[in-house]
Structure 1
Amino acid sequence: MYSYKLFSHENIPLITHIKNVGDRCYKIIKNKSVNFSYEKEKLMYVSKVMGYTHDLGKGTKYFQKYLHQMITYKKSDVNEKLRSHGLLSALYTYHMLKGFDEELALMAFTIVKRHHGNLENMDVEYTIDSVKAKNVKKQIKKQLNELEKEEIKYILEKLGLEYIDEKVLLNGIEDIVYEAFEQLNEIQENNDLDKYIIYKFLYSCLIFSDKEDAIFHKSNGIKYDIPCNVVDKYKTIKFKGKNSELGDIRNEISKDVEDGIKESNNRIMSITAPTGTGKTLMAISAALKLKEKLKKDMKIIYCLPFTSVIDQNYEVYSEIIEKVMGKDKVTNDRILKHHHLSDIKYVSEAQNYNDNKAKFLIENWNSQIVVTTFMQFFNTVFSDKNSQLVKYNNISNSIVLLDEVQSIPFKYWLIINKLFKVMAETLNIYFIFITATQPLIFKEDEITELISQPKKYFDKFKRTKLHINLDKIMYSDFLVEMEKMILEKKDKDILLILNTVKLAQSTYKFIKDMDLENTDEYFLSTGIIPKERRNRIRQIKIGNIQLDKFTYTSILKLKTKVKANLKDKITKLNKNKRRKLVVSTQLIEAGVDIDMDIVVRDMATIDSINQSSGRCNRENRGEYLGDVYLYNLTNEKGTEYNSFIYDNYLITKTKEVLEDKDVIYEEEYLNMNKQYFEKVKKDMTEDDSKKLIKFINELKFKDVANNFKLIDVQNKISVFIETDDYAKAIWNKYKEIMNEKDVLLRKERFNTIKKDFYDNVVNIFKTKVKESEEMGIAYVSYEALNGSYDRETGYKMEENDVIL
């Protein structure tokens, strides 16, 4: 029996690891319904060879010494280049596949070479000058001289691969340079997005399998067991005996969507429905019904533009599973949320994880239903980063729900149109775009609307009317009008949405100074720490609670102390309901589920105006009970405040749609939205998208990533606000963790406090931050709180600040 001496990781023989990785790569592709320009069997073989060869470079004495020193002493004196294994392993990969398929061999060479790094532009990757080639050859020769050849031969024999002579490997460096140069010319003339997708898919298969085996030493499959009618069952349980006009409309729309799913053969679909029509339940039900129709195990990836909404939607979906399948079935292999503040905790029926294993399972979306952000999804689609592309293979065989798609910048419409159509076919993805204001990303013959007649439902809603005044109004005059409205509408809950924090803060102070009776004032902006924002939103929402029979029955099931407190609060609210005045920035549009009588909105784009209207008479308490007032605020110089926030092109198109109109009723919103997006599409520049398409065709992975920014990068800095003893304890813990010398351990320890830490963090423009940075973040101590932070209005801004 052969005694293996080479190891890939601590106590893991090299042959065990590379065989597991190769077999896992092969299995991933075998189980996927992918449809590339290459035969599936060909890709399966190439991926297996990549897995079998990706760590052969660890067979040198240099690496084995490095591994031993790191395990024993946590440090090593072995030369970094000589202990590296990517390039030597890649040479083996290339020669194993050269005779099989030259193009795929070169692709595999680059993937293996980069499997511990990020993807590079191919013009950089494939351009090697003579000096560099000479240095590479010198390095490889040294590594080959210290290669444990006997064991490598034995390993390759066991894996069914031929041993490559060291002379062939060395001479092959020039061959690769020549072949790369030839292929680079072909790539530069390429007009096929397929190559970009297959490159990232194969890369993801390898790095995913490599990391999974290194962490778990086994694969982590998902058993798909969520019933396709789970939402129907949930609604029967949840709303039994509760009938309302709004509920009937919601059920009618859901039935319409279900019928649309049955009839559609398109991979790109849309759901266009008014705000407040239960899209959260409708979307997941549609995806499950589509999965049932396809008769395939498909991951459901539900994407939202805002982190703040993810938690509430995740809770809804968790409740669905709990009510129908049982509380013990609410596990992360069934429902998972993932954003940058997610807890590093993964619970399955078999085992619980709260370490690197949990991190891997969460970040790679190991679940039947994933609730995540646009940022996470689009970063995966357009990124060049190893850490983000590791889950790229997991978006294949999936149903992707993109909610509130109107938030996608119009400059990216063309690239999303082109790329998603190819991804849908090659990776077996079904896209469903969900919104009340459907942007014209796809032509009518490219996308299937699942609601047969959206206008029918928009016509049924007569909740709000939009009062339009595009004339410029000085802020001081606006305040006079607001004072009059607030005093006249004494029984109305009013929401004011301003375009800048400073403007919102000033407006809130003005209202507070009115010293109103029987009124609760609330202020919301991103300048307030997240945990306090959530608390205020809960307080605003609780004022809407009416103690009906259904609510009362639910309260009776609660624990005695909680039940008594909640009943007491609700009873008091119902006996003496206080009026609510809320002042906010655009933050309130981010899916915050509140219901107001009047909404006042500073000038914005049509889609934002629509979202603002969705906070008014949301529960359809009566016909046209909701009034939405649009003002065009200016400063003393006559500059419109919207110009600090919105693209002038979009504001111009909004004004074109709204000009010569005094009032628009809700049933007319659909047509208003359509006119707006038609105008935007007609005259918009597609230069940004065309540049991205060019980079994708040329396989310039880094340039693609650098030029796709879903949210414009702003020069902001994070500020930790210490408002109480718990925040002080978290800050002290953070300082302790940051002094940890081991980078990986430091990151792991920070993950344990990450959510609590960022609950106390606001992001402010660097030029406006008064505090100095401490360990990568600015810090406001409890003792210095009054100088920098107001508990009601948040971080104290300068007079000319316009932060959202």
Structure 2
Amino acid sequence: MTDDFINSFNLISHTEPNRKLIVHLGEAYNKAKKRLDELDINFDLLSISHEQFEKLLQITVFCHDFGKSSIYFQKKILESLTKGKEEKEKKLSEHGLISAFFGYFIAIESFAFDKRVASFVFMAIRYHHLDLDNAETMQTVDKEAINKVLKIFEGVKKNSSEVDAMYHHFLGINGIIENFGTFLINNFPHDEIEYLEKFFWFKDEYQNNDIFIFMLLFSLLIYADKEDAIFRDRIADKIQSHTIISSKVDDFKSEYFKTRDKTPLDNVREKIYQNIVDEFNSNEIIKNKVFFIKLPTGAGKTLLLYKLAMQLKEEQNYQKVFYLLPFITLIEQNASILKDLLEFMGINSNDNRVFLEKHSLDLATLIRTQK
């Protein structure tokens, strides 16, 4: 895409820096395709050919942020909706479900995939935007969700010329907005919305390796989307270098708990913290490079381990320290505290080039399982 072509589009996908939606979708697909080409997958073992999967990947990546073209999302991202705005307007800026429906529509109407395979696109896009539990949840929609999709689509139609041009460029399809509108009307007639619960359900039709196809599609989407969000090719601003000092954890801990009355458990936590830090500082620990901490929930491990990780980086001149967590809930809990800690150190944790909370399936594990 030339700069003149890109500049003919106005829709944006991210705020820091302003990122054109057409650029984000194009770069995300390039990253997903490059990653796919690096993988050694024997498609002869699957129920889909390599060419068919590439087309599914195109549809999924190009459609995953379709809903961002609505006037509601554009208003949110351009004006950064404040808490004072109406909740209704905020909800209409959501874009996950309408993007999932759009990808499903493209797969069946424009490229003649059957509904079973098209459901992979729907679930990959929807799961990408939400933390959903299982396939049944991903495939279920209710009256409120459908009505919201229909209202968001009215907002998309306000930008129909640009959206039509964008998808003609990516997928060679003409008049996409009009056709998608017909699809929504046919599938969600107003007098039947009250009774809809599941949009589709292929539990008995899925084949043995369909889970691998879906997980591969989803993993490539989330990898490419996050990769593009962090490492944007057109970023003009350089990321500022930051110094992380382990002693700041002690200051943060004091500040964090100063507004609450100390309990006997707090005193126990403090003793544990100091004893382990002292033990960690002994020469024997550094020499052996093996250190086990076995403590119950609530004993203060989170800040303690951040302290030790930062101290290791300082004293051993490590470039990287890996902090591994086994569950998504733990990732979210630790990420929340780490963000507060970084902010305390004067580091902008909202800059996703510096801090990005991410949890997804490992592609290498999927490939080994498939083989």
Normalization by structure 1: what TM-score? 0.29
Match of residue 341 from structure 2: 750
Distance 1:178-1:715 versus aligned 2 partners, 3 A rule:
same
The 8 Å contact of residues 285 and 291 in structure 2, kept in 1 or not, is answered as: no
Q: Does 1:718 pair with 2:299?
A: yes
Instruction: Write the deviation string for residues 398-433 of structure 1: whole angstroms up to 9, x where unpaired.
Output: xxxxxxxxxxxxxxxxxxxxxxxxxxxxxxxxxxxx
Distance 1:100-1:177 versus aligned 2 partners, 3 A rule:
farther
Distance in structure 1 (CA, Å) of the matches to 2:274 and 2:78? 50
Distance in structure 1 (CA, Å) of the matches to 2:96 and 2:340? 29
Q: Tell me the matched-pair count.
A: 261
Aligned partner of residue 8 in structure 1, secondary structure = strand
Structure of larger gyration radius: 1
1:187-336 alignment, distance < 5 Å: 187=206, 192=208, 194-218=209-233
Distance in structure 2 (CA, Å) of the matches to 1:113 and 1:212? 19
1:217-616 alignment, distance < 5 Å: 217-218=232-233, 529-536=275-282, 538-539=283-284
User: What is the CA distance between 1:211 and its match in structure 2?
Assistant: 1.5
Aligned partner of residue 205 in structure 2, secondary structure = helix
**Structure with the higher fraction of residues in helix conformation:** 2
Instruction: Report which structure shows greater RCO (CA 8 Å, sep ≥6).
Output: 2
1:680-695 alignment, distance < 5 Å: none
- Counterpart of 2:164 (choices 149, 153, 157) is 153
The 8 Å contact of residues 21 and 213 in structure 1, kept in 2 or not, is answered as: yes
Distance in structure 2 (CA, Å) of the matches to 1:206 and 1:721? 31
- Counterpart of 2:105 (choices 78, 88, 95) is 95
Distance in structure 1 (CA, Å) of the matches to 2:165 and 2:57? 21
Distance in structure 2 (CA, Å) of the matches to 1:61 and 1:540? 58
- What is the letter of the counterpart of residue 24 of structure 1? K
Distance in structure 2 (CA, Å) of the matches to 1:217 and 1:16? 10
Distance 1:720-1:53 versus aligned 2 partners, 3 A rule:
closer
- What is the letter of the counterpart of residue 40 of structure 1? H
Distance in structure 1 (CA, Å) of the matches to 2:135 and 2:128? 15
- What is the letter of the counterpart of residue 284 of structure 2? Q
Q: Which runs of 5+ in 2 are unaligned?
A: 190-195, 243-271, 312-334, 346-371
- What is the letter of the counterpart of residue 750 of structure 1? L
Instruction: Write the deviation string for residues 188-214 of structure 1: whole angstroms up to 9, x where unpaired.
Output: xx6x3x333332222121112112212
**Structure with the higher fraction of residues in strand conformation:** 1
Q: Does 1:79 pair with 2:77?
A: no
Distance in structure 1 (CA, Å) of the matches to 2:225 and 2:302? 40
Q: Does 1:54 pair with 2:59?
A: no
Instruction: Write the deviation string for residues 718-773 of structure 1: whole angstroms up to 9, x where unpaired.
Output: 338999xx99xx9xxxxxxxxxxxxx99854524889xxxxxxxxxxxxxxxxxxx
User: What is the CA distance between 1:155 and its match in structure 2?
Assistant: 0.6
Match of residue 124 from structure 2: 111
User: What is the CA distance between 1:177 and its match in structure 2?
Assistant: 7.2
Distance in structure 2 (CA, Å) of the matches to 1:208 and 1:172? 34
Distance 1:108-1:166 versus aligned 2 partners, 3 A rule:
closer
Distance in structure 1 (CA, Å) of the matches to 2:303 and 2:121? 50
Normalization by structure 2: what TM-score? 0.58
Instruction: Write the deviation string for residues 672-692 of structure 1: whole angstroms up to 9, x where unpaired.
Output: xxxxxxxxxxxxxxxxxxxxx
Distance in structure 2 (CA, Å) of the matches to 1:215 and 1:35? 31
The 8 Å contact of residues 23 and 48 in structure 1, kept in 2 or not, is answered as: no
Distance in structure 2 (CA, Å) of the matches to 1:68 and 1:101? 38
User: What is the CA distance between 1:218 and its match in structure 2?
Assistant: 3.5
- Counterpart of 1:142 (choices 148, 151, 168) is 151
Distance in structure 2 (CA, Å) of the matches to 1:745 and 1:108? 31
Distance 1:541-1:213 versus aligned 2 partners, 3 A rule:
closer
Aligned partner of residue 300 in structure 2, secondary structure = strand
State percent identity of aligned pairs: 23
Distance 1:171-1:110 versus aligned 2 partners, 3 A rule:
farther
Aligned partner of residue 169 in structure 1, secondary structure = helix
Q: Superposition RMSD on alpha carbons, in Å?
A: 4.3
Distance 1:75-1:154 versus aligned 2 partners, 3 A rule:
farther
Distance in structure 1 (CA, Å) of the matches to 2:215 and 2:84? 33
Distance 1:141-1:127 versus aligned 2 partners, 3 A rule:
closer
Distance in structure 1 (CA, Å) of the matches to 2:296 and 2:216? 33
The 8 Å contact of residues 50 and 108 in structure 1, kept in 2 or not, is answered as: yes
